[in-house]
Structure 1
Amino acid sequence: MVERGASAPSLPEDWPAHPDPILALNRMGSFDWDLDAGLFHMDAQAHEVFDLLPGEFDGRPESLAMRVPQPEGARLDAVVARAIKEGRENYGAYFRIRRRDGTWRWTHTQGYIRRDETGRPRRIVGIVRDATQELADSGARSARTAQDDAFRRQTNVVQVVSAALAHARSVQDVIDVLKDTHGIRHVGAASLVMGLVEAGRIRLVAEGPAGSFVPGTGVTRIDEPYPMSEVVRTLAPRFIESPEEFADCYPDLWREITDLHITSAAYLPLIAQARPIGAIGLLYNDRRGFSAEERAVLVALGGSIAQSLQRAMLYEQEKDLAQGLQQAMLPRTIPSVPGAEVAVRYRSAALGRDIGGDWYDLIPLPGGQVGAVIGDVQGHDTHAAAVMGQLRIVLRAYAAEGHPPATVMVRASVFLRDLDTDRFATCLYAQADLSTGIVQVVRAGHLDPLVRDSDGSCRRVPVEGGLPLGLSAEFGRLEYPVTTLELETGDTLLLCTDGLVEEPGADLDDGMRDLAALVVGSPRDDVQGLADRLIEAAEQRGGDDDVALLLLRRGGPESPRAGGRLRSHVAPGDPEALSRTRHLIRAAVRAWHAGSRADDIELVTDELVTNVLMHTESAAAVTLRLLEGGDRRVRIEVEDSSSALPRRREARADGVSGRGLLLVDRLADAWGVEARGGGKAVWCEFRVPPDSERAAGDVAGDHT
């Protein structure tokens, strides 16, 4: 025996345990319902109570529908939900099951609700037993059961329709539930009409089945002699019990609906927060009059519909507000980019009322370059959207000032840390020179970009990344390596947020591969069509995250075209390579008809290469391109692996060094320095005379 005062033993954590044999002796079965996993475990005796064979039940509660009819299941669910909502520890209920031979069996269940330390229900354990004989033997209980059956028949309409309306997220969802043939059948009506109150009028929004609409009643005033107007004015239901009463009270309307053979009707005001938001009319052709119980049930039905409508209307308002705020934070327009086709898309989350921090941006940059940004602020609320808007603006400002990509990321991270917010953001920034196709990419905890080549293939471009914005500044790890890639004419750069590729339970790499496969199967030369297809795929998949997408395709009709290209490598201590490179440069600029600029190009290129060999311990990678478009230009890029930036300084009168960058600045039309991965590149451009005689060819490939 248990000692007096001893606490009751708790259920073991490794439930389901083997039930006490006494349960089986009393024809009781046990169950364990894991609310988190959605699994319903039953022992062998419980299977017998439900008349289930071994292996016939898969452990999902909804699978019991084969034995528990929908009305009984809905009532039982309501009992459990009410017990959970009221904070009770247990519940009990009688319900019927349909055995495999078609006969009915009364069953009784008792459940014990187990909660965690926060009060959240986690599991329900209990018993089920055959109660058929028990109810048959008890006259008092039989009488009570008969009363319960009558009450269930009356309330079943409200329960079934309310259950269907519980999933309505919009006014149209509510209308679809009520217009559906099954919805009309549940309320026992032959047809229905529903209207919403708008600016002192009633606008008809639903009629079912088709053909029950009365011409001229699409929009009516509240003071007109119609039953729907009357219930809105009085806030009281109107029950019309016979055709004669209908014809006497509403002759104008009756003349229009005589072909429907209506014998009675119930018009109910839809009231929410003490004000009418609409009205619904239920028309019957197989009955006269309404009992007190039926009237009470229909009034309850009207209240349920009104609550669903109000919830749907508020939901739509919040969704419109969230989407409007999100759109206001995104760029109003995307600038046209000479030499590129651009497509952007944004899809809000399926959750509707939530608002995310996803964004895209396209930024015109000095020197004819363009910056492409994709990012995602942590969270789905208005705070995330506000942080996103501020971050987008400052990142745009830093980029427009001409800072290199790594510096743009560093400054944006510091800004987010100092913004007095606990949010961080992932981001990818790509700075593209469309005249050369060179793209510098930095990544802050974001997805890698994809590139669709002009032949239709698609590849993921691995980008060495840093920590998300905000976190990198917080932890003092402000390193954002730069990855350089080259877009050929017709290539498309694809940037997106994780809502386009992530699915619950799926691997991210699999999602990226699926995205690449989808891109391959899309039209090659239509970035707008590609963007639409990707968003349509996201819509079909659903998901609870926003999607931002930016596509940039090089090679539009206004793009400068490369007329020639020379690339050569010069290693330290290799005079032959240096001499050979000088000869190649001289031959190239002559072949490109550089005219009077040829000597300047040769001199500046030689100076830049010599600076690399003298002041760094790395090789020099020399690239010359002839760019033809609005004006012909020769672009020089000299790369090395040193991160030290060149400094322009005044040379002494007797000095032999210090004049290199002064010479570049004096002779070139434009020049600058760019970070390239672990090193840098010094570039400059020279305008050359137009070549009207012949197009320059590609005079050389790669040389070492």
Structure 2
Amino acid sequence: MADRAAGALSLPDDWPAHADVSLTLNRMGCFDWDLTTGLMHVDEPGLDVFDLHPDEYDGHPASLAARVPADEAVRLDSMVAQALKRGSDHYGAYFRIRCRDGTLRWTHTQACVRRDESGRPVRIIGIVRDATQELADSSARVEVDEERRRQTSVVETTTAALAHARTVQDVIELLKNSHGLEHLGATSLVMGLLESGRIRLVAEGPEGSFVPGTRYTRVDDQYPMSEVVRTLAPRFIESKEDFAESYPRLWHAIGDRDISAAAYLPLIAQARPIGALGLLYRDKIGFTPEERNLLVALGSSIAQSLQRAVLYEQEHDLAEGLQQAMLPRRIPEVPGAEIAVRYRSARLGQDIGGDWYDIIALPGGRVGAVIGDVQGHDTHAAAVMGQLRIVLRAYAAEGHTPATVMARSSVFLHELDTDRFATCTYAEVDLTTGVVQMVRAGHVDPLIRNQDGSCRRLPVPGGLPLGLSAEFGRLEYTVSTVELDPGQTLLLYTDGLVEQPGADLDDGMQLLAALVDDGPHDLQLLADQLCEVVDERGGDDDVAILLLRRKGNYAPQVFGRLQQHVGQNDPEALRSSRHMVRAAVRAWGAHERADEVELAADELITNALLHTDGGAVVTVRVLSGIERRMRVEVEDRSSALPRRRDAGESGVSGRGLMLVDRLSESWGVESRGSGKCVWCEFLIPDRPRI
């Protein structure tokens, strides 16, 4: 029955086709290479693949060399040699041949290696074929895949770059300067942020592409950015007609710019709109599904970056406000000294830290200079810094020695129940004598700048940082004494000025010394120049700088000084002190103010004896500076500070400090380590010159 069916089909005489016919029809040829003799048989279809006539081939592989470029021949020889060496049974490769007309054509070969009983290769039998069409089809697919990869790469590259953007301006600059939009084919862009129900245009590019009247638009306006913000869906405009019909007001302004398509994307973060992005194209018709998906992904990345940037700026403003609030609002005028201070926040990292400076006016022509750095770069570090600065200032103003100021500040920080420590340098400068008492707690060494501009490092023995010294019970701080000559400048700074990642601290110190050496003489200009270096360098640490120069012409003189101790329940000593004040007034030419001086001094002495335990020390002196002043000081052992108040109902008590305030030019209270000193000053005429 099968025979009858076969006969009924009436198959062709040459069916099935011989293998040679199949190979020929598919532009394939065969070869048989005998490795022992070196001869290679190539059939006629195979020679046709090589664009050779039969009479042009002599049976040796070298005859094919004319059709194989040299670099391709080297690659093929290397591939065959490796296959034979590794013991492979098969190999295959694409290579090019040069045709008679000089053009290159892709060819493919595939072969089987025959070996003898010992494994030695003896023959290679294979085929060669024309691969032009195959690779053409493959190339088309590769181009499509390459375009997809390119567009995906643009989104990935842009997303990676956006990850480093820290501010809204960083995001804007990245989009305007990036070549990513060019790779996407866009000719211009616009971006707006949603603020209080309006869209504020924050970026447009290239320059000159801004449309007047669109800087601020309402969400309910008939604009594409308004629409995508309202609907939270992208809007793809695929033709000029679509643009003109949907948004006639905007098209009227940009219709002459040859815009053929546009993509407007909502910028959504945490499920709410924060703005919109528009990409405008020339010579583009429609958007493929892949392009739409890529643009939506790009919009999502931009939105997340903008959200991070907005939150970062808000946090930075809060931290910077806290930092500025914790630093001194102003630096007091200090007679006999020039002072310059600066603070620069970090350009990387969290931007804010615990660096601080302070200037503390002390009695007797002295001034305290403080530079410090609380560990960490966050708002907590700034908060700890503020508390520590105030406490250290209070200890110094109470009259404690520099070593005691440091020790007590360390105990305070340790008891603050924080995990932070702080480095600090405290210098107490006597501007009259130039003597500087300095204590260093884990901080970098200060510098001294001479009058000629030369600069040197000032090695100061140091102790543990504040907080750590209290924790380990090592509260002894060494006090170093140096002299600051007139015109010399003391430079205090935090480590952010000299430390750089991967660099040695000594190199940073030498660089700073060189900058100071070559810097301007004016302290304010010098401080600005150091800050410019910090700004250019960037870095992940904030910087505080304090420069203090001793003036050469400051030499306050004391013309006369009288002092007496007045004990409680000692009327004779009280009368004697009053007599001393009266005699000083007459001797120093203050007759016109005798009653005022005596009355104010009597009130201060009486208050000390009535409201404190123990006696008082009364000192009267004349200070000569720009103007002559008589100063009355009453020192006692009580730390309770006097306060000015109104008189009681009986009118007997409460007038003391009110009288002192009215009678004297100035008065005040200075804390001392063992108590306090209440003082008042009176202007007195200069002595007549003979």
TM-score (norm 2): 0.61
**1:226 is the counterpart of 2:215:** no
**1:240 is the counterpart of 2:261:** no
Among candidates 264, 269, 282, match of residue 267 of structure 1: 264
| Residue matched to 1:495 | 492
Q: Structure 1 residue 474: deviation in Å?
A: 2.2
Check the 8 A contact 1:435/1:627 in 2, yes or no.
no
Separation in 1, partners of 2:371, 2:448: 15
Letter in 1 for 2:467: G
Separation in 2, partners of 1:449, 1:688: 42
Among candidates 557, 560, 584, match of residue 555 of structure 2: 560
Aligned-partner SS, 2:502: coil
| Residue matched to 1:419 | 416
| Residue matched to 1:204 | 201
Check the 8 A contact 1:177/1:183 in 2, yes or no.
no
Aligned-partner SS, 2:173: helix
Letter in 2 for 1:341: E
Separation in 2, partners of 1:240, 1:688: 87
Among candidates 365, 368, 376, match of residue 368 of structure 1: 365
Change in 2 beyond 3 A, CA 1:147/1:157: same
Check the 8 A contact 1:342/1:527 in 2, yes or no.
yes
| Residue matched to 1:567 | none
Letter in 2 for 1:388: M
Separation in 2, partners of 1:236, 1:292: 15
Q: How many residues align structurally?
A: 454
| Residue matched to 2:523 | 527
**1:338 is the counterpart of 2:346:** no
Letter in 1 for 2:534: A
Separation in 2, partners of 1:464, 1:444: 9
Separation in 2, partners of 1:154, 1:176: 21
Among candidates 383, 398, 402, match of residue 401 of structure 1: 398
CA offsets 1:193-241 (integer angstroms, 9 cap, x no match): 1111000000101111111110010101111111111111111111111
Check the 8 A contact 2:402/2:438 in 1, yes or no.
yes
Aligned-partner SS, 1:175: helix
Change in 2 beyond 3 A, CA 1:476/1:284: same
Change in 2 beyond 3 A, CA 1:562/1:378: same
Letter in 2 for 1:530: L
Change in 2 beyond 3 A, CA 1:188/1:516: same
Letter in 2 for 1:537: V
Separation in 1, partners of 2:384, 2:671: 33
Check the 8 A contact 2:351/2:542 in 1, yes or no.
no
Change in 2 beyond 3 A, CA 1:152/1:506: closer
| Residue matched to 2:19 | none
Q: Structure 1 residue 435: deviation in Å?
A: 2.4
Letter in 2 for 1:284: Y
Moved more, 142-151 or 514-523: 142-151
Separation in 2, partners of 1:289, 1:378: 57
Where does 1:464-503 land on structure 2 (aligned, <5 Å)? 464-503=461-500
Q: Structure 1 residue 596: deviation in Å?
A: 8.6
Change in 2 beyond 3 A, CA 1:173/1:444: same
Separation in 2, partners of 1:137, 1:289: 31
Aligned-partner SS, 1:224: coil
Separation in 1, partners of 2:306, 2:180: 16
Check the 8 A contact 1:491/1:553 in 2, yes or no.
yes
| Residue matched to 2:181 | 184
| Residue matched to 2:285 | 288
| Residue matched to 2:296 | 299
**1:518 is the counterpart of 2:486:** no
Letter in 2 for 1:504: P
| Residue matched to 2:450 | 453
Moved more, 499-508 or 232-241: 499-508
Separation in 2, partners of 1:249, 1:689: 87
Letter in 2 for 1:549: I
Among candidates 547, 550, 553, match of residue 551 of structure 1: 547
Q: Structure 1 residue 351: deviation in Å?
A: 2.3
Check the 8 A contact 1:560/1:628 in 2, yes or no.
no
CA offsets 1:140-163 (integer angstroms, 9 cap, x no match): 999997875454244233123222
Q: Structure 1 residue 276: deviation in Å?
A: 0.7
Change in 2 beyond 3 A, CA 1:200/1:361: same
CA offsets 1:541-587 (integer angstroms, 9 cap, x no match): 22211111111122188x436899xxxxxxxxxxxxxxxxxxxxxxx
Check the 8 A contact 2:448/2:489 in 1, yes or no.
yes
Check the 8 A contact 2:326/2:386 in 1, yes or no.
yes
Letter in 2 for 1:545: D
Query: What is the aligned-residue RMSD (CA, Å)?
Result: 3.5
Check the 8 A contact 1:358/1:376 in 2, yes or no.
yes
Among candidates 486, 491, 508, match of residue 505 of structure 2: 508
Letter in 2 for 1:560: A
Among candidates 533, 538, 541, match of residue 537 of structure 1: 533
Change in 2 beyond 3 A, CA 1:463/1:562: farther
Between the aligned residues of both structures, percent identity stands at 71
Q: Structure 1 residue 690: deviation in Å?
A: 6.8
| Residue matched to 2:168 | 171
Check the 8 A contact 2:154/2:180 in 1, yes or no.
no
Q: Structure 1 residue 354: deviation in Å?
A: 4.5
Separation in 2, partners of 1:539, 1:471: 32
Check the 8 A contact 1:338/1:556 in 2, yes or no.
no
Check the 8 A contact 1:435/1:562 in 2, yes or no.
no
Among candidates 309, 313, 320, match of residue 306 of structure 2: 309
Letter in 1 for 2:314: Q
Letter in 2 for 1:554: R
Letter in 1 for 2:547: L
Separation in 2, partners of 1:270, 1:536: 37
| Residue matched to 2:437 | 440
Uncovered stretches (5+) of structure 1, i.e. residues with no partner: 1-102, 104-135, 565-594, 598-625, 634-670, 675-686, 695-704
Separation in 1, partners of 2:623, 2:480: 23
Q: Structure 1 residue 138: deviation in Å?
A: 12
Change in 2 beyond 3 A, CA 1:539/1:692: farther
Letter in 2 for 1:178: L
**1:162 is the counterpart of 2:163:** no
Change in 2 beyond 3 A, CA 1:473/1:374: same
Change in 2 beyond 3 A, CA 1:143/1:521: closer
Check the 8 A contact 1:181/1:209 in 2, yes or no.
no
| Residue matched to 2:122 | none
Q: Structure 1 residue 693: deviation in Å?
A: 6.2
CA offsets 1:253-277 (integer angstroms, 9 cap, x no match): 1111122111111111111111111
Aligned-partner SS, 2:456: strand
Aligned-partner SS, 1:436: coil
Where does 1:524-673 land on structure 2 (aligned, <5 Å)? 524=521, 526-555=522-551, 559-560=554-555, 629-630=625-626
Check the 8 A contact 1:436/1:562 in 2, yes or no.
no
Separation in 2, partners of 1:481, 1:536: 34
Separation in 1, partners of 2:504, 2:441: 20
Separation in 1, partners of 2:259, 2:135: 44
Aligned-partner SS, 2:166: coil
TM-score (norm 1): 0.59
Letter in 2 for 1:334: I
Separation in 1, partners of 2:315, 2:485: 45
| Residue matched to 2:21 | none
Letter in 2 for 1:348: S
Aligned-partner SS, 1:190: strand
Check the 8 A contact 2:322/2:383 in 1, yes or no.
no
Check the 8 A contact 1:375/1:497 in 2, yes or no.
yes
